[in-house]
Structure 1
Amino acid sequence: MTSTTAQSSTPSPTPTPTPEAPPAPERPTDMQSADSEGAAAAASYFMQLYPYVLATGDLAEWDALSATTCEFCSNTRAEVERLQAAGQRSVGGVTVLSATGQDLGANGWYRATLSVAITPSEDIDKAGVVVDTNDGGTYTIDVAMTWSDGWTIDSAGIVETPVE
């Protein structure tokens, strides 16, 4: 008796390539100085950490720079924890278009104003399936920060820049 096996005409599913996690941003050397240039560099670095923590779940550097009272910082931490608990990560990017720092005088207080472009991002599960998307845009970010043997981000306010 001869048997034959029918060939399936349905192709096997191909896994979606999962984007690689981004490398950790490098601390700029200007960030070592307690002046307006250092404030701008520290705020820029902090915002470059944003897509990194969402993609990797690595909050060590984020937490080292964040004041416990910083609402933006703690909200970002909560989002990272939510993604990690769901077995997901968010893949996107931030480009700092401009950064200026300002020394506010006494007690180590500084302000930095950034213009950033945030690329559209995707929340991806462990299988590489996109489970959510987030729009990008251009934003102005005002950062309040202090210097005391290093930078601490005290607050960050984000406002979308209208398209002209």
Structure 2
Amino acid sequence: MTRSRAILAATSIAAAAVLLVAGCDDDPPATPSAEPTATDVSPSASPSPSSSAVVVAPERPQEMDDDGPAGAEAAAVYFLELDDYIMKTGDTAEWEAMSHKSCEYCTNRLEQSKLIAERGDTFEGGEARIRILQTYEQDATTGIWPIDVEIKESRSTITDAKGSVVFEQNAQTSTARVETTRSEGHWVIVGVPDIPES
């Protein structure tokens, strides 16, 4: 089953339609051929919460201090757990700090979060439980650790300022390959493509 976390919809007031930010069947972003050395970090100036409920950010795991496979796994899980938090709060600083400039998935989710905040919409649900399926050896050329994960995501909705539901997605389970690497002393996500078919 393909991943769902890149397909939440942008909304249109005039047409009351839902536009997909990134289709779940899109080709995965290309993995860079050279070792990534920098991130595209530009944290938002001020968060714009989309809900009045108190939303707690996921706790950064201590394992992320490890620069080996344990750290790569922890970074992959933590990053995916940040998704519903940025949608609910508009606080994208940590997401941006962990997003490599080549990561299309990261950019798509960031744009979705900013759109929700700008429109004053409310994102509810979408909490994810992440399970590591397989961690591969680090690629000697790129420095990337590919990690296959299972994502169990709760039902989610986006409601506009008038209280109308403009997007909803049922609870579902999907898989993805999270490509992690170290850059300037911290973990970054290079891409989150579908797991290639064997």
TM-score (norm. length: structure 1):
0.77
Corresponding residue for 2:189? 153
What is the rounded CA distance, in whole Å, between the counterparts of 1:19 and 1:123 in structure 2?
A: 14
Equivalent positions of 1:1-164 (< 5 A) are 20-92=53-125, 93-98=127-132, 100-106=134-140, 108-126=143-161, 129-148=164-183, 149-158=185-194
CA root-mean-square deviation: 2.0
Contact kept, 8 Å, 1:91 with 1:122, in 2: the verdict is yes
Contact kept, 8 Å, 1:101 with 1:113, in 2: the verdict is yes
What is the rounded CA distance, in whole Å, between the counterparts of 1:61 and 1:158 in structure 2?
A: 23
Q: How many residues align?
A: 142
Which one is further off, 53-62 or 133-142? Answer: 133-142
Deviation of 1:127 after TM superposition, in Å, equals 5.9
CA deviations 1:66-116 (Å, max 9, x no partner) are 011100000001111111121113222111133543332435321111111
SS of structure 1 residue aligned to 2:192: strand
* Higher-RCO chain (CA-CA 8 Å, sequence separation at least 6): 2
For the pair shown, which has the larger CA radius of gyration, 1 or 2?
A: 1
Contact kept, 8 Å, 1:65 with 1:151, in 2: the verdict is yes
Contact kept, 8 Å, 2:75 with 2:180, in 1: the verdict is no
Letter in 1 for 2:153: I
What is the rounded CA distance, in whole Å, between the counterparts of 1:84 and 1:117 in structure 2?
A: 25
Cα 1:101/1:51, change in 2 over 3 Å: same
The answer for unaligned runs of 5 or more in structure 1 is: 1-17, 160-164
What percent of counterpart residues are identical? 30
What is the rounded CA distance, in whole Å, between the counterparts of 1:125 and 1:77 in structure 2?
A: 18
Contact kept, 8 Å, 2:132 with 2:147, in 1: the verdict is no
The answer for unaligned runs of 5 or more in structure 2 is: 1-50
